[in-house]
Structure formats: C-alpha cells, structure tokens
Amino acid sequence: MTGVSQATVSLVLNGRDDGSVRIAPETRERVLHAIRTTGYVADPVARRLAARHNRILGVFTYEPVFPTGTGDFYHPFLVGIEESAERLGCDLLLLTSAPVTDGRRRIFHDDNRLRLADGCVLLGRSLDREELGRLVAEGHPFVSVGRRDDAGGPVPYVGADYPVATATVVRRALDAGHTALAYLGQGAGPESHADRFAGYRTTLEAAGLPVRHEPTADRTAADLLDTLLAAGITAAVVEEYADGAAIAGLARERGLAVPGDLSILALGDPTRPAASDIEFTGFRIPRREMGWQAVELLTGLLAEVPGTVRQRLLPCQPVDGATLAPPPSPR
C-alpha cells in the first residue's frame, strides 16, 4: 500500500525513534495512515515469538478459579489481580487446561501454555512443592500469592502476615483475662496454617501459658465442643472460619452463651461456605491487596527493577467482632 518494506512498518508500528533508527516523518505518517485505514494489528503470536515477551501474565490456581465450593474465598484475590493487570496493560491467561491428576491440578503437563505468558501468579492454599521447585529451577518468573517456604531456592511471594495477626488476636484474648485457650485446626501443613499456629504458640509461650492444640480433621463439632468444655477452655482460636461457625452454632443450641461462656476467635475469612450471622472476632486477610501486589511484584521481576523486594508480608486487618468477652467466672 505504501510501497514500504515490512521492516519499516514494524519500526513505525513500534514507534522506534531512538538514535539507531530514523524514519522520515512523512513516511511515518503515510504508514500510520495505512495502518489506521486498514485497522491492521500486528499478530501477537508472531510478535511474542520474535520479541520474547507479550505482557501476558499467567494465573494458575490449584482450585477452580471461579470457585463454587470454596465460598468465593479466592474471588477477592482475583479482583486485585485483575485491577493490577488492567492498570499495567497486561492480559491474564487463566491456566484452566491444567489436568487434574491425583485430585489436583498440575502446572506441568505435556501441553502447558505456561510459557506463553511472560510470568505467572500462583494461587492456592497449598502449592505442590515439586512443581514449585521446578518453577524455580527452570527459572520461570512467578509470584506466589501466600507465603511459601523455599523450594530449592527462595520463592517470591506476597503473603498475609498470619503470625502477627494471630498473635494480636491471641493477645487480645489474654488481655481480656483468658488463660485457657486452644487452637482448633491443622496448625501445620500449608504455610498459612503453620504461620497461624506459630503466632499462637509464641504468644502463649511468652505469656507462660500452655499451648493447647486440637486437630479438627474428621471430628464433629460436638466432639470438639465436648473436648473444649471438658478441658475448661474459655477461648477457642479457630483456624477455619467454618469450624468456628459450627462450634458457635452448636454451643448456642446447647444453651451456652458465645462469647459469655466461650469466646471464639477466627483466624481469617471463610474458605468454606459457612452460614452464620455471627461476626467473629479475629482479622481479615487483605486478599485484594495481595492479588494486587502479586501482579505488581511479578511485573517488577520481569522488568528486573532493581531493589524489588521479592517476599512481602501484608498486615491483616483486625476485626473487633462479637465473639470475645472475658472468661466466665469460675463456678
């Protein structure tokens, strides 16, 4: 159309104006005009193949991205991710094709489109350590949403500061007069659980109080409640919101007052749908902010911005709630 070479079009298209390349303003205008009238857009695939990057960020989740069963726990993360991506002019590639093997999605399989993206954000309660290690080893740029232990190298992440948030909540209980507390949940396994428990443990140890821990896996609310009451526990620190809701509901059914007879502290937002109109004392995970910063961090890594902090812990927001009261006076 313009009698100009493909190279020139490419140069104009990319607005190359640096010292090494010069295009006559008149030619440039002619080409731009042709581009405008034809609506020509460079093929993003070829572009990526040649240029090695394309402003596409992968998003991998170990659970469905748009969850139905997890009470939309992940939704706020994605809101933050999307906002940030939009601001930075990036597209998001949801790696939904990852096949489920042994009950979980796998990043690495024989047709993964991971490398189509410049980098990748990882989301999920527990990431597969082997896959994480491989990401590190192969040098794929990525950021985890949620703190992760090293996996053959430091893992870049944007996490929530569960130790501090949990410690703060526990200290509130101590300040209210509680001396018999128990941690309900795994307290181990995924970093998010271990971190909570660590905050709980150190706070109680510092106060010289016993560190009680009740696992919840495969136990009924009734069993748990019985155990707590038998042990004289006055404040339950629950890892999972849903467990807190179940116990609170049951306690009230039995005529016990929450928090009058039993205080309940929830360590974060519901990850499973939990029907409850109670507002629990505890904290909120800055999910949107975490998603937002994860993308920020990832693009920072990609641009190799010097001085980028690769591991960030964000503070959680305390929630006063209505489930903490002084312990009942001993009978």
Partner DNA sequence: CAACGTAGCTAATGCGTATTAGCGCAGAAA
Partner DNA sequence: TTTCTGCGCTAATACGCATTAGCTACGTTG
Residues interacting with its own copies, by CB under 8 A? 39, 41-46, 48-49, 54-56, 64-68, 72, 75, 78-79, 81-83, 85-86, 89-97, 99, 108, 110-116, 134, 138
237 DSSP β-pair partners: 183, 265
- Token pair, residue 193, equals 């659980």
**How many whole angstroms separate alpha carbon 125 and alpha carbon 271?**
10
Q: CB of residue 308 vs DNA: minimum separation in angstroms?
A: 22
Say which entry of its own copies, DNA, none residue 82 contacts (CB below 5 to 8 A, set by partner kind).
its own copies
Site of tokens 């313009």: 2
Of 58, 71, 49, 47, the residue nearest 97 (C-alpha): 58
**How many whole angstroms separate alpha carbon 320 and alpha carbon 313?**
22
**How many whole angstroms separate alpha carbon 213 and alpha carbon 99?**
36
Say which entry of its own copies, DNA, none residue 63 contacts (CB below 5 to 8 A, set by partner kind).
none
Determine how β-strand 142-145 pairs with β-strand 119-123: parallel
Q: CB of residue 11 vs DNA: minimum separation in angstroms?
A: 5
Phi/psi for 289 (5° steps) reads -60, -35
Of 99, 139, 137, 133, the residue nearest 115 (C-alpha): 139
Q: CB of residue 4 vs DNA: minimum separation in angstroms?
A: 4
Distance of CA 318 to the CA centre of its chain: 18
Say which entry of DNA, its own copies, none residue 254 contacts (CB below 5 to 8 A, set by partner kind).
none
Binding mask 50-89 for DNA (x = CB under 7 A): xx--------------------------------------
Residue 26 interacts with DNA (CB under 7 A)? yes
Q: CB of residue 140 vs its own copies: minimum separation in angstroms?
A: 11
- Among the listed ranges 13-21, 120-128, 174-182, 270-278, the one in contact with DNA (CB under 7 A) is 13-21
Which of 32, 34, 35, 42 contacts DNA by CB under 7 A?
42
Residue 140 interacts with DNA (CB under 7 A)? no
Residue 310 makes CB contacts below 8 A (sequence gap 6+) with 154, 156, 157, 297, 301
Residue 6 interacts with DNA (CB under 7 A)? yes
Judge residue 98's burial from the number of C-beta atoms within 10 Å of its C-beta, 0-12 exposed, 13-18 middle, 19 or more buried.
buried
- Among the listed ranges 15-23, 75-83, 251-259, 309-317, the one in contact with DNA (CB under 7 A) is 15-23
In the complex, which residues of this chain contact DNA (CB under 7 A)?
3-8, 10-11, 13-14, 16, 20-24, 26-28, 42-43, 46-47, 49-51
